Each structure stands twice: as structure tokens, then as C-alpha cells.
Structure 1
Amino acid sequence: MGLIPRTIAGKIRYAYQGIEAVKNQRGRNEITIRVRPAGEERISETAFENNVQPLIIMLCIPFGIIWAVAGHIIMGHSLFILSLFGIVAMAGVVSMTF
């Protein structure tokens, strides 16, 4: 299927690519999800002395984010934009600690 052009209010034109384009994008996303962590580890290995430290950091950051969100839930607070800034900063501190 090709592009299906449509017009809104006589002036705005857009095209729907169809379900096949969505399926193609899904395949590319699956490849990215599998390849990206390996690439991140290879890049971070250059900054550390051995291969184990980047793996430790890659495991610590998600756990830190999970516990930060859990702490907000336990304390009954909402996740505001400043909370999200703090979580991102915390991820940076965790990676700089090792």
C-alpha cells in the first residue's frame, strides 16, 4: 500500500502510510533494542579499567530509577517534573560513583 493523501479543512494535507509502514518500524525498533545496550557497554568500557564496571553501572541505574519511583509511591508523592530531573541527576551520580 502506498500513501493515502487526505485533506483537513481544505488546506491541511497529510498522508497515512498504512499498517505496513508500522510493521517495518516495529522490526527496526526490535533491532535497536537488542543492539543499543551492547553499544553502550562498548563505549563505556573505554572510560573504565575492565569490562565488569560498565555492566554494574548498567544494572544499578534501572534499580535506582525503580526505587526512586517506589519511594514516591510509598511517601504518597506525585512524580513532578522536578522529581524526574532528580531521577536523571541520580542516574548521573550513580554512574560517576563507580
Structure 2
Amino acid sequence: MNAGNARMKRPKKDQAPISQPNGLSETLADQTQLDQAELVRICRGFVNSAYYRKAMANPGYLREQAIFDFLTGQGYDSEAAGNWIESIRKNYYRAF
């Protein structure tokens, strides 16, 4: 087989790559990276906060409630705080 025939052809300039139809995959990947970065920022901020120390010192003060209080104190509304808690639960299940 000729080496020239074995190479893949470049897509035409007006043609989107197959792995990223219309840029959708790239947009979702970017949003996922932003969400992961925000999640890490939230978790680090919580661990360094007084809410975390209060949750560790007081067994009756649930960590989930402490995270909710931390997020609402950071300016998140209750719905957004609940969504971030769900994300933390899915990604960092050992926190609960």
C-alpha cells in the first residue's frame, strides 16, 4: 500500500471535525471544565471556612447544612446551593 494513501485527509475548512459536530462537544467540555473548577473552588473554600470547623466540632450540625450555609453566605441562592450540594455529593461522596 502506498504511504500517501494510508494518511487521513484533512477535513475541508468549512467542514467541522467528526468528533466535534458544530462545536457542541467543545462547548460542553468547556462548561464541564468550568463546573469542575468551580466545584473545586467551593470545596476548598468550605474546608477553609468556619462552617467546616463548626460542622466538625458539632456532631448535630450536618455537613450538608454547613455547606448550604457556606454557599448562601457566598451569595448563592438556595436553588443554586442545592444544585452544588448535589454535585458535591456525586463527585465527592465521602464528604457526606
Both proteins in one fold, TM over 0.5: no
Larger radius of gyration: 2
Structure with higher strand content: 1
Normalised by the length of structure 2, the TM-score is 0.34
Q: TM-score normalised to the size of structure 1? A: 0.33
